[in-house]
Structure 1
Amino acid sequence: MRCHWDEEDTWFNFEVDAEGCVTRQAELEGPELIPVAAASLAEWQRARDAGRLGDYDSSFGITAELPVSEWEGHEPEQLTFEEFEDVWGPARQRIASRPG
């Protein structure tokens, strides 16, 4: 699913599991849709367990913590798996290739 936050001109793109928890999240800012985050919950958990959470957060960001069912004031647009992948792949590639 995806939703737009007008105040920051940011598109939030989410992949959610059966319980409504965000498993992957890509954020694109501005009219150019510049990727600013492309986080995976599984990767975040592995980084936390390995003591590298700060590095992961500063590189890829974090996923939303609340399940979708607890969100207020959002009317997300549903995406297909392919539509999410079309955003996730390029966003992840661009963020991963940024100089550290």
Structure 2
Amino acid sequence: MTTWMRCYWDEEATWFYFEVDAEDWVTRQVELHGSEPAPIVAASLEERQRAQQPGDLAEYEKKYGVTAELPVSQWENYEPDQVTSQEFEEVWDAARREITAR
């Protein structure tokens, strides 16, 4: 079952939004930074895996960032808020539009 969640990292003034699969792996991730949150990451695990060709991966990561590399169940001191799929999609779509336009 897919779940969607978010958390805020006060030290970096960053919102993290995650789409997580049934095995606790992050499949999509958005990071919004600053007082007027600007997207700095809008990464998809599936897209990143498709970009495994030499040069393509570095280009993908430079533009969209990366998803978390550990399953959520292994994160320490993590207390997410659940969000709906619709809330996540709105954040995802807006972040992707802005990052793609850069």
Smaller-chain TM-score bracket: over 0.9
What is residue 91 of structure 2 aligned with on the other side? Answer: 87
One-letter amino acid of the structure 2 residue matched with residue 95 of structure 1:
I
TM-score by length of 1: 0.94
Residue 8 of structure 1: which of 6, 12, 18 is its match? 12
For structure 2, the residue ranges without an aligned partner over 5 or more in a row are none
For structure 1, the residue ranges without an aligned partner over 5 or more in a row are none
SS at match of 2:59: helix
Task: Describe how 1:63-74 pairs up with structure 2 within 5 A.
Answer: 63-74=67-78
Q: Tell whether 2:50 aligns with 1:46.
A: yes
TM-score by length of 2: 0.93
One-letter amino acid of the structure 2 residue matched with residue 72 of structure 1:
E
Percent pairwise identity = 60
One-letter amino acid of the structure 2 residue matched with residue 12 of structure 1:
F
Pairs aligned (count): 97
One-letter amino acid of the structure 1 residue matched with residue 28 of structure 2:
R
What is residue 64 of structure 2 aligned with on the other side? Answer: 60
One-letter amino acid of the structure 2 residue matched with residue 3 of structure 1:
C
Instruction: String of CA shifts for 1:18-61, please: whole Å, max 9, x gaps.
Output: 1110000000001111000100000000111x221100000000
CA–CA separation in structure 2 for the residues paired with 1:42 and 1:70:
21
Displacement of 1:96: 0.6
Root-mean-square deviation over aligned CA pairs: 0.6
What is residue 28 of structure 2 aligned with on the other side? Answer: 24
